[in-house]
Amino acid sequence: EVQLLESGGGLVQPGGSLRVSCAASGFTFSNYAMSWVRQAPGKGLEWVSGISGSGGSTYHADSVKGRFTISRDNSKNTLYLQMNSLRAEDTAVFYCAKDVYSDYPHYFDHWGQGTLVTVSS
């Protein structure tokens, strides 16, 4: 059974940094691209960042480019999102999502339960 467990969310001040993680199990992690998708309070879904199965290619939405970095450790079956220069508008539930292919983000067949990131002073 595929399981994705996010962790690392919390309260951070504007301008601060936070790293969220996603521990994956139940599938061959390195064979699949992974993404982070967020949902701000009362808002819709927004794709944030994606990474190929090998980790060699990464993709970021313009709204986070230069501030967020996606990475993965295939030896630990773990996905990461390093978030710097956080803004109030980054407040959201961040979901880890498994892709169906290995190369670049397509659609997502499994999702974690999400971790809440709150940016506030």
Q: How far, in Å, CA of 87 to CA of 26, rounded?
A: 34
Distance of closest approach, residue 107 Cβ to another protein, in angstroms: 4
Closer CB to another protein, 15 or 103, in the complex:
103
Q: Give the shortest CB-44-to-another protein separation in angstroms.
A: 5
DSSP state of 14: T
| 66/121 with CB nearer another protein | 66
Tell me which long-range contacts 74-77 makes (C-beta under 8 A, separation of at least 24): 74/29, 74/30, 77/23, 77/24, 77/25, 77/29
Tokens (6 digits) for 107: 């659609």
Select 27 or 111, whichever has its Cβ closest to another protein.
111
Between 14 and 89, CB nearer to another protein: 89
Smallest gap from residue 111 Cβ to another protein (A): 4
CA angle 115, 101, 75 (to 5 degrees): 60
- Contact status, residue 53 vs residue 32, Cβ threshold 8 Å: yes
For the bound state, the minimum distance from the C-beta of residue 51 to another protein, rounded and expressed in Å, comes to 11
Q: What residues make contact with another protein under the rule CB under 8 A?
A: 35, 37, 44-47, 50, 59, 61-62, 95, 97, 100, 104-109, 111-114
